[in-house]
Amino acid sequence: MKKNLFLLSLILALLVGGCAASVSETNEQTESAAETAQPTQPPTEAPTEAPDLLPSEVKVGMVFLGTENDGNVLAQSLRRDLTEAAVQAGMEEDQLIWKYNDREADWTQIEESILACVDEGCQLIFGGSREYEAVIAAIAEEYPDVMFACVGGSLMNGTNSGTFDISLAAAQYLCGAAAAAASPSGRIGFLAAKDDTDEEVTAGVNAFAYGAWSVNPDAVVDVGITGRWFLPEAETQGAEELANLGCDVIGGYIDGNAGQAAAAADGLYIVGAGVENADLYGDRAAAYVLYDWTGYFSMKISQVISRDVVGEAWAGDYYGGEAVFVLQNTSLENMLSQAVQQLAQWNPNAPETEAPETKAEEQTEPEQTEAEGQSEPEETAAPPAVDEETGYLDNVRIHYIEVVEPETAEAEE
């Protein structure tokens, strides 16, 4: 009996132990199965953007109208400021690709210059002439990953191609005032690239004429239209024709300096845009405007580095510091003080913005003092009105410059 009870107890112990082991094994298997059921692939990471380019990986091209060092002052200022912006960004000068075209180059030649910049790996290409806009606009559509920008114009797509320009209205106003202050006769010449078909140039002419009126209400501005942004022959001939009309000061809104150089050589004062390297004119440069494109070019290079493809319409002006008025003949400071005050009220670019200081060497505002022997007039003359037919102020006279070819001149003689 005892033996049977012992055997029964042993069997029960074995059964209980076996059940416990079985339960333990089952739990372990369940846990193992649960672990096996978990996904074995790591979680998917969000896609990352391509890293910024290094400055050493950037290439920028620019295509110019005319040959190097031919007197195209726009080209000089564009090259100078793009080089400065590139160096500031950490680039080397050999990463800038320059292409020059004869000013009579046709569409095919211009296209080849632009495509050469593409082939050399430029991520950003500038057109250094308003006359290249149509060619650049067409090429931009074929290369959506390359950024293009042309100085002036309106044909760009706003996606990978845009425009950049500097409005000179306010600065031209001060140039007109300086011209009137420097002119004994009150007859002032002005060389313009385009006629009233170009709104920007017309605005510059009117601003110049308005500034001349602010100093001399009887001043007359004779405008010689050359028809091209850069045409040295027409500029030189235009300066001569304006001098023959009795003009003793020559201003301008043009890309060349041939006309101003000719005028200075003949003893006339020069003012206005289109005057780089003012030291070439000696004491004949009364006042002039310098372009400053550096901020714009720095922005575009930054976009390339960030791999952004943008096509904006950028515009600088006197109020932003991109059109810098320099008064070289500081003896005119007193006469300009009234023009500076008037500009603050007129403000052609930003009617609600206060006019900044003008530059006389360090861009200091002329003292608000009257010239000795002059008195404030009792009544102020009415400002010139705009002629509804021409779009010019009524103290403006328009003349079209027709270039006489040397052969024609010899035949007439």
Dump pLDDT digits (tens) for 26-35: 455 545 544 5
Q: How far is CA 79 from CA 93, 97, 255, in A?
A: 11, 10, 14
CA gap 216, 338 in Å, rounded: 11
The range of the structural domain enclosing residue 391 comes to: 169-286+328-369+384-405
Could you give the number of structural domains in the chain? 2
Dump pLDDT digits (tens) for 321-356: 999 998 988 889 888 887 888 888 776 654 343 444
CA gap 116, 135 in Å, rounded: 14
Instruction: Please give the structure tokens belonging to residue 31.
Output: 């846990």
216 and 268 belong to one structural domain: yes
Confidence of residue 407 (pLDDT cuts 50, 70, 90): low
Whether residue 363 lies inside any domain: the answer is: yes
Confidence of residue 382 (pLDDT cuts 50, 70, 90): confident
Burial status of residue 168 (CB atoms within 10 A of its CB: 0-12, 13-18, 19 or more): buried
Burial status of residue 261 (CB atoms within 10 A of its CB: 0-12, 13-18, 19 or more): buried
Instruction: Please give the structure tokens belonging to residue 191.
Output: 């060389």
Q: Within 10 A of 88 (CB to CB), how many other CB atoms are there?
A: 13
97 and 239 belong to one structural domain: no
Dump pLDDT digits (tens) for 195-205: 999 998 999 99
156 and 190 belong to one structural domain: no
Q: Quick one: pLDDT at residue 125?
A: 98
Q: How far is CA 316 from CA 131, 166, 201, 322, 350, in A?
A: 20, 4, 15, 5, 12
246 and 276 belong to one structural domain: yes
The CA R_g of the chain, rounded to the nearest whole Å, is 36
Whether residue 40 lies inside any domain: the answer is: no
Of 166, 189, 216, which closes a domain?
166
Of 166, 187, 205, which closes a domain?
166
180 and 277 belong to one structural domain: yes
Sign of CA dihedral 245, 248, 252, 257: positive
- CATH number of domain containing 87: 3.40.50.2300
Question: Angle, to 10 degrees, between the axis of helix 232-244 and the axis of helix 258-265?
Answer: 40
